Amino acid sequence: MDAVSSHSALEALLAWMLQHPGLSGLAVFAVAMLESVLLLGIVVPGALMMLAIGALVALGALDLWSTLAWAVAGAVTGDGLSYWIGRHFRERLRGMWPLRRFPALMDRGEVFFRRHGGKSVVFGRFVGPVRAVVPTIAGMLGMSPGRFAVINILSALAWAPAYILPGVAFGASLQLASEVAWRLALMVLAVVALLLLTGWIVRRTFSLLQPRADRVLAALLHWGQRHPRLGPLATALVDPQRPESRALVVLALVLLVMGFSFFAIVWHVAGGPGPARLDLLTYDLMRSLRTPWMDAFMVAVTMLGDAWVYVPLGLVVLAWLLWQRDQPAAVHWLAALGFGAVLTRVLKTALHTPRPTELYTGVSGFSFPSAHATMAAVTYGFLAVLIARELPLTGRRLVYVGAGLVIMLIGASRIYLGAHWLSDVAGGLTLGLAWTALLGIAYRRHIAPPLPAGQFLLLLGVTLPLLGGVHIYRDHGREINRYALRHPVQPLASAQWWTSAWAELPAFVDDLGRDRRQPFNLQWAGGPDALMRRLEVQGWHRPPPVLAASVLQWLNPKPTLAHLPVLPHVNDGRHETLLLVHSGPTPQQQWVLRLWPSDRALTPGGQPLWLGSVSQQHLARPLGTLAFPVTGNDFDAPLAVLTPAFQGLQWRSVWRPAAEIPAGVVWDGEVILVKELRTED
């Protein structure tokens, strides 16, 4: 699947939601109901999903009031169903599956209800896990149906706006990013969703495993006592009275062999030497979502997983652990980093999987598994293990969530930048986290002196930003060039372009969600500097740059377009090369010219060919506080203002077919072809 088909799929989703508001409303109803139903509210990430629904409201895919109504109805239905279950089954519920597996949760819900009475139904909607059982407890303890119904409806009326409106505000702020590129807006939303989902998964996993860890380890010890061959390995790993060095070495080798065998099988089953279909789909989708600003952010993130960061960080942590005379922690730390580095090189050398794009040489030129993902998992993951051991329960959860966010961001950056296939990152994260988990169990179960958590956090809080900051400051530009999209230039005969081939070039700016909304109504053969000099005589000029001082003008209560920076647009992953503005008929309007390379060179002579878009801009106030210029839908009037500047040059007007122009775009299809100097063809 290519970038165009990826665009089409996402556009089709938004179009479907706009064309089927009733079905979209049912989806909102289902999410709100499942978030409120007995026990399902623990599993369903309702807060994240309602935030996403609010963002869709702000982006125009859903109507605010109908969405709130559907959410209220779903919440009322979910709590009502839970209440009916409790009222119908009463105390028998405690012995029924799956509630018999959660006696502590039921007891906590009952204590909560007895303490707060009817108010617990209201509070329960906003208070963690108990929201999934409080309505059921209310039914079990005999709360009257009429009273419950009133409280249920009132609490749902408060709950729906509280969960949806923050998403609306977030989505409205995305309008600012969408003026730059819908790709950027979508990627910002995706990154926020990824972070929220990662945090939710880490918290849920921690809450699920923490109370069961002792039982699992006890069962493993019991199993080890009954199996004389493999049992000693497991026993050495978890028995506090036995050294685990032999077990860790053997388990490391087993993990290496199993990892090689498993992923070699997956590699062949997925289609042999070529990438799997899911890998290709993900690569094409990420390539279609590339924007310069998101590139800069993702390159900075991926640099936190470079050897220039984790190697000196590893040495600093090792020196500090030895200074603390904590030999067990130092040994485990060396094992984490050493095995992670060896594992990735062995698998890369053995599998010889090619990368999506050529970025490195030697063993690093191979793709599977992602060394960045593996080393991020073992480095930041085991740092979390070392710190969490010294903290109370709440502090441990925060540390693991923080590490999970960093690890997931680094993994996502490799996929976004096209440095790895999805399976490379998934394999690297899986192997790295598996090894970290084994080491974490061994370290936590064996005797080791306590570490001063405050000093350790201070050390990391100084060292990691320093190493990462220096590396990013020094090498960010070089790495941007490394991961930049490649656009090979193709030759095009000048006479052919002038007569017919102009119609084969793109007709609209290629921006996800705004495709066929901003036409290319200018094609310029020459240099952008020559065009700028000619237009400056006609009153065109560069707008204020996007700097901190000029951006503050967005908060001006009485702004004028002349003093506001113009946000760059994106075409095929690139900002425009030339950006000029011209005063419009009113102070609240202006004309804007943007010029992008077409990746064509005219022959003979090699003269570059550029694609231009001349558009109208007006002020927008999405939240009533910001004021920034946005592109309108009139492209005829701006083009008429531009045409006089080409007197004395060889130029002509051509027209796109009316069938290519979408509804709502004010454009008669005219495209101006201009050559920098008068020539005879």
Query: Over the stretch 176-232, which tens digit does the pLDDT of each residue have?
Result: 555 555 666 667 777 877 777 777 777 676 666 555 555 555 555 555 555 555 555
If asked whether residues 472 and 534 sit together in one domain, one would say no
Residue 19 included in any domain: yes
Supply the pLDDT for residue 553.
60
* Same domain flag for 531 and 461: no
Residue 527 confidence class, pLDDT cut points 50, 70, 90? confident
Lowest mean pLDDT among 27-36, 179-188, 377-386: 179-188
Tokens of 201: 């998964």
Determine the distance from the C-alpha atom of residue 225 to the mean position of all C-alpha atoms in its chain, rounded to a whole number: 46
User: Could you tell me where the DSSP H helices lie in 352-392?
Assistant: 371-388
- The predicted-structure confidence for 104-116, as pLDDT tens digits, reads as follows 666 666 666 667 6
Q: When comparing pLDDT for 482 and 251, which is higher?
A: 482
Do 161 and 33 share a structural domain? yes
pLDDT score recorded for residue 126: 67
Residue 265, CB half-sphere, CA atoms under 13 Å: how many? 5
Q: Among 444, 466, 483, where does a domain finish?
A: 483
Rounded distance between C-alpha atoms, residue 197 and residue 128, angstroms: 16
Last residue of a domain, one of 461, 483, 505: 483
68 domain-assigned: yes
How many C-beta neighbours within 10 Å does residue 524 have?
Answer: 25
pLDDT of residue 550: 58
Structure confidence by residue, pLDDT tens digits, 463-502: 888 998 899 988 888 888 888 888 888 898 988 999 888 8
Does 150 map to a domain?
A: yes
Mean pLDDT of the region 302-311 = 89
The position carrying tokens 């090792």 is 318
Supply the range of the domain harboring residue 8: 3-180
382 pLDDT higher than 50 = yes
State the total domains in the chain: 3
**Which residues lie closer than 8 Å to 222 by C-beta, 6 or more apart?**
none
Comparing CA positions, the residue from 184, 187, 247, 200 lying closest to residue 49 is: 200
| Whether 103 and 18 share a structural domain | yes
Q: pTM for the whole thing?
A: 0.60
Contact criterion met (CB below 8 Å) for 491 and 603:
yes
Q: Are residues 498 and 441 in the same domain?
A: no
Say if residues 527 and 638 touch (Cβ distance below 8 Å).
Answer: no
The predicted model gives 534-556 an average pLDDT of 73
Residue that terminates a domain, selected from 462, 483, 504: 483
Pick from 203-217, 233-247, 361-375, 596-610: least confident: 233-247
Residues 532 and 659 in one domain: yes
Position 605 in a domain:
yes
- pLDDT > 90: what percent of the chain? 3
Could you read off the pLDDT of 422-452 as tens digits, one per residue?
888 888 888 888 788 777 766 765 556 777 8
Q: Cα(364)–Cα(25) distance, rounded to whole angstroms? A: 49
pLDDT digits (tens, 9 = 90+) for 559-605: 677 777 777 887 877 888 898 988 877 777 888 899 989 989 888 88
The reported pLDDT for the residue numbered 302 is 92
